[in-house]
Chains A and B, each alone.
Chain A
Amino acid sequence: MTVLDHRNDPAAAGTVPGWRPGATAPRTDPAPLLPDPEPLRVLGTPAADAADPALLRELYRRLVAGRRYNQQATTLTKQGRLAVYPASTGQEACQVAAALALRPDDWLFPSYRDTLAVVARGVDPLQALTLLRGDAHTGYDPRATRTAPLCTPLATQVPHAVGLAHAARLAGDDTVALALLGDGGTSEGDFHEGLNFAAVLHAPVVFLVQNNGYAISVPLTRQSAAPTLAHKAVGYGMPGRLVDGNDALAVHAVLTEAVERARTGGGPTLVEALTYRIEAHTNADDATRYRQAEEVEAWRVHDPVRLLEDALRGRGLLDEELVADAAERAEQLAARMRAEFHTDPELDPMSLFAHVYAEPTQQLREQAGQLAAELAAEAEVHGR
C-alpha cells in the first residue's frame, strides 16, 4: 500500500482552508458538462418524424443552393474569376443549420470556409465572395446582418465573439454570438483563451467546431489527443456537445438548444460537429496526397443533402414542386454568380487610402497624391 492509495480519503480534507485557493463559487460537477458518447443524430431516426415540415423544406432548399454555390465558385476559380475558394461541399448542413439557429439580432463570427453560413444570415451571396474574388476584403456591411467579416487567421474570431456577447450581456441585451471554426483552429491559443474568457465571464456565446477531419493535410489524430474536441469544453467549465454535422436537423436542434441556453443566462457551450470536407482545402490544394479515395467515397455516401432528401421522402414531403423549386433557385444563383464574376469589377485605386484611419495622416495624403500622379501618367500613356 502506498500513500496514493489514500486518495479521496475524506479525513485528509480536514485541515485544508478551502477546497481550492481563490475559489469562491461551489465546485462545478464535471459530469453534466461531458459530451454524449455518440454524436446526436436525428435524420433516419424516429425523431425526424416530429420535425417541422417548413424547417425541413427550408433546410433542403438552402442545402441544394449551397452545394450549387460551392460547385460554381470552384469552377470560377478554375476560370481565374475567383482568386481562391475553400469549398464547404459536404459541410453544407453544419453551416446552414447553425446559422438558422440564430435570431436576426444575434451575431455570427465566421471563418473563411463559412460563406454558406454568411449567406444564410442574409448577406448577398455575391458580396460574400469579394474576399475570395480579391476585389474587397469584406464586401458586406457586418452591421447590416450582424455577421462579422470572414476571418482568415485561425480562431482569432473566437475572442471577438466572446467580447461581443459579454458586452451584450452587460447591456441587458439578450443577443447571442456564434463563432464558427474548424478542427485545426482548436489548436490555436485564441481558441483556448476565448473559451476560457467565455466561461469565466459567463458570456452568451456558442462555439461550433466543424471537425472535417483535416487541417489542410494534417489529420485530426495529429491535431489533438483529446477523447473528442467537445471534451475540451469540460476543462473550461462549459458543456461540450457532439453532433453529426451532416445531419441538418441534429445540428439545428443542438445549436438551437445551445443558443437558447446562452440567451437565458446559461453561459457558453462548445459544440463539435462531425463532418467531412469532400473537396480539397482550396482549389490550390491536392487532397490525394494525404487522403485515401475510399475514405472520401464513404463520406460521399453519408451526404448531408441525401440524408435530408431521404427524410423528406420518408415524410412524403419531397414532391416534384419542392425539388424543381430548389433546383431552379440553385441554378438562378449559379447564373447570377457567372454573370457577375465574368465581368471585371470596376475598382478605384485611390480606395487604397480610404479607411486606414478616421482621418488620413499627412503621410497618407502625400502617398495618395503619388498614386494619383502615377495613374494620371498611366492614363496619358494609354491615351496616346
Chain B
Amino acid sequence: MSTVVSEQHGLRTGTMAQALNLALRDAMRADKTVHVLGEDVGALGGVFRITDGLTAEFGPDRCLDTPLAEAGILGTAVGMAMYGLRPVVEMQFDAFAYPALEQLFSHVAKMRNRTAGKLPLPITVRIPYGGGIGGVEHHSDASEAYYAHTPGLHVVTPATVADAYGLLRASIASDDPVVFLEPKRLYWGKDGWDPAAGVEPVGKAVLRRPGTSAVLVTYGPSLPVCLEAAEAAKAEGWDLAVLDLRSLVPFDEATACEVVRSLGRAVVVHESAGFGGAGAEIAARLTEKCFHHLAAPVLRVTGFDVPYPPPMLEHHHLPGVDRILDAVARLQWEE
C-alpha cells in the first residue's frame, strides 16, 4: 500500500472520530475517484459524525445518502468500483453490516480472484464495531472473525488516533478491499498526532509497550485495556509488553513471533467470542512457530461465547484488567 500524507501539517490534538473524518476529507481531496456512500452519511454526517461536513464540501454525489439497504449499498459500490471509482462504504453498526455479507463474501472478496486480476475492487467498508458504549441489542458486535476468515479481504482495526488517520488513508489507497473496523468505544478518546507524519503500510504490528515478562497480543478496542492491565501488572512484579496487531489480515506473523520468542509467554486478548475467534488462530500460529521458545501455552482472554449481552451486563462480558491478569498468572511462572 502506498504512503499517503495529509494536506494538514503539524501536531494536532483530537479524537479518533475527528481523525477518521480528516482522513476521509483528505482522501477525497487527494483523489476525485473516492466516493463515500452509506446511511445518514450526508446532512447528518453519520450517526457517529465520521462523515461530518463531507457532503457540504464535496456535494451529495461524492458523499451519498443511500436508501436503507446494506446489500444494496455494497452491491452498488461493487459496480462503482468496476467503473473505476474508489468507494468508501459506511455500515452504520457492526450487526447492521450482516445483510451485506453475501455481497462482501461472494463478490467483494472474490472479484479479483475470479477474474484473474482483471477486476480488482478497491472498496473500503467502514464498520463502527464492538461494545463498551452501552449500546442496546445489535449495536455492539465484535464481528472481525467473520471477515478475517474470508480470503480476499484485508481486515484492519485502529486502536489509536494516529492509526485511525493513517490506516484509513492506507486502506482507501489500497487496491484490495478492506474491512475497516472502527472501535466505537475509542471514537471519543483524544490524543496528539501528526497527520503529516506519513502512513505505514497496512500489515505492520507495532509494540505499544516494551516489557520483559510476557506479551499481551491485541488489536483495536482491546488495546487500552491491555495497556491498563500492563500498568496494573507492575504491582504483581510482571513487566508486560503490549503488541498492537493493527490488522488481522495481513497478519504480521514475523513481528508477533519475534516478540513471543524473546519473552516466551503470551496472552492474546480480544472482546469477541473466543470459539473460532481471531485469538484461536493467532494462538495456534504462535504455538506452531514459537513452540520451543514458549515457557507456557499461549492463552486467550476473550469475550464469552454468548450473544452480546444487554448493556447493563456488558462489563461482565468484556475482557477487563482482572481477567487479563488472571491469565498472566496462569503462564506457569513457578520453576
Which residues on A are within 8 Å of B, measured CB to CB? 107, 136-138, 141-143, 148-149, 153, 156, 158-168, 170-171, 177, 189-190, 192-194, 196-197, 200-201, 354-358, 361-363
- Interface positions, chain B 88-114, Cβ under 8 Å from A, are 99, 102-103, 106-107, 110-114
Bound form: Cα–Cα A354–B61 in Å: 35
Give chain A residues whose Cβ lies under 8 Å from the Cβ of B332.
none
Bound form: Cα–Cα A189–B68 in Å: 13
Bound form: Cα–Cα A148–B174 in Å: 22
Q: How far is the CB of B86 from chain A (nearest CB, A)?
A: 11
Contact call A166/B75, Cβ cutoff below 8 A: no
Contact call A136/B116, Cβ cutoff below 8 A: yes
- Cβ of B319 under 8 Å from chain A: no
- Cβ of B298 under 8 Å from chain A: no
Contact call A164/B67, Cβ cutoff below 8 A: no
Interface mask (B256-300 → A, CB under 8 Å = 1, otherwise 0): 000000000000000000000000000000000000000000000
- Cβ of B50 under 8 Å from chain A: no
Contact call B113/A197, Cβ cutoff below 8 A: no
Contact call B112/A357, Cβ cutoff below 8 A: yes
Bound form: Cα–Cα A113–B80 in Å: 24
List 29 A-B pairs, Cβ < 8 Å: A137-B110, A141-B115, A142-B119, A143-B119, A153-B106, A156-B106, A158-B75, A159-B76, A159-B78, A160-B78, A161-B79, A162-B75, A162-B76, A163-B81, A165-B79, A190-B71, A193-B72, A193-B75, A194-B75, A194-B76, A196-B72, A197-B76, A200-B67, A354-B117, A356-B112, A356-B151, A362-B253, A362-B254, A363-B253
Interface residues on B, range: 35 or more
- Cβ of B227 under 8 Å from chain A: no
- Cβ of B43 under 8 Å from chain A: no
Give chain B residues whose Cβ lies under 8 Å from the Cβ of A190.
71-72, 75, 102-103
Bound form: Cα–Cα A363–B249 in Å: 10
Take A160-B79, A166-B76, A177-B79 as given contacts and tell me if A358 and B120 are in contact as well, using a CB distance cutoff of 8 Å.
Answer: yes
- Cβ of B83 under 8 Å from chain A: yes
Contact call A164/B120, Cβ cutoff below 8 A: no
Counting chain B CB atoms within 10 Å of each CB, the highest count among A196, A197, A357 belongs to A357
Contact call A197/B83, Cβ cutoff below 8 A: no
- Cβ of B69 under 8 Å from chain A: yes
Residue of B nearest to A160 (CB): B79
Contact call B114/A137, Cβ cutoff below 8 A: yes
Partner of B67, one of A143, A165, A196: A196
Give chain A residues whose Cβ lies under 8 Å from the Cβ of B66.
197, 200
Residue of A nearest to B249 (CB): A361
Contact call A358/B175, Cβ cutoff below 8 A: yes
Contact call B113/A163, Cβ cutoff below 8 A: no
Give chain A residues whose Cβ lies under 8 Å from the Cβ of B112.
355-358
Q: How far is the CB of B282 from chain A (nearest CB, A)?
A: 12
Bound form: Cα–Cα A260–B119 in Å: 27
Give chain A residues whose Cβ lies under 8 Å from the Cβ of B83.
163-164, 167-168, 171
Give chain B residues whose Cβ lies under 8 Å from the Cβ of A363.
250-251, 253
Take A355-B113, A356-B152 as given contacts and tell me if A189 and B79 are in contact as well, using a CB distance cutoff of 8 Å.
Answer: no
Contact call B80/A166, Cβ cutoff below 8 A: yes
Give chain A residues whose Cβ lies under 8 Å from the Cβ of B80.
163-164, 166-167
Bound form: Cα–Cα A162–B78 in Å: 9
- List 7 tightest A-B contacts by C-beta distance, closest first: A163-B79, A159-B75, A193-B72, A167-B83, A164-B79, A163-B76, A137-B114
Give chain B residues whose Cβ lies under 8 Å from the Cβ of A160.
75-76, 78-79, 82, 107
Give chain A residues whose Cβ lies under 8 Å from the Cβ of B79.
159-167, 177
Give chain A residues whose Cβ lies under 8 Å from the Cβ of B9.
none
Interface mask (B179-216 → A, CB under 8 Å = 1, otherwise 0): 00000000000000000000000010000000000000
Residue of A nearest to B254 (CB): A362
Give chain A residues whose Cβ lies under 8 Å from the Cβ of B234.
none
Bound form: Cα–Cα A368–B215 in Å: 30
Contact call A163/B152, Cβ cutoff below 8 A: no
Counting chain B CB atoms within 10 Å of each CB, the highest count among A138, A165, A170, A355 belongs to A355
Take A142-B119, A200-B67 as given contacts and tell me if A163 and B99 are in contact as well, using a CB distance cutoff of 8 Å.
Answer: no
- Cβ of B40 under 8 Å from chain A: no
Q: How far is the CB of A17 from chain B (nearest CB, A)?
A: 20
Contact call B115/A362, Cβ cutoff below 8 A: no
Bound form: Cα–Cα A160–B74 in Å: 9
- Interface positions, chain B 120-159, Cβ under 8 Å from A, are 120, 151-152, 154
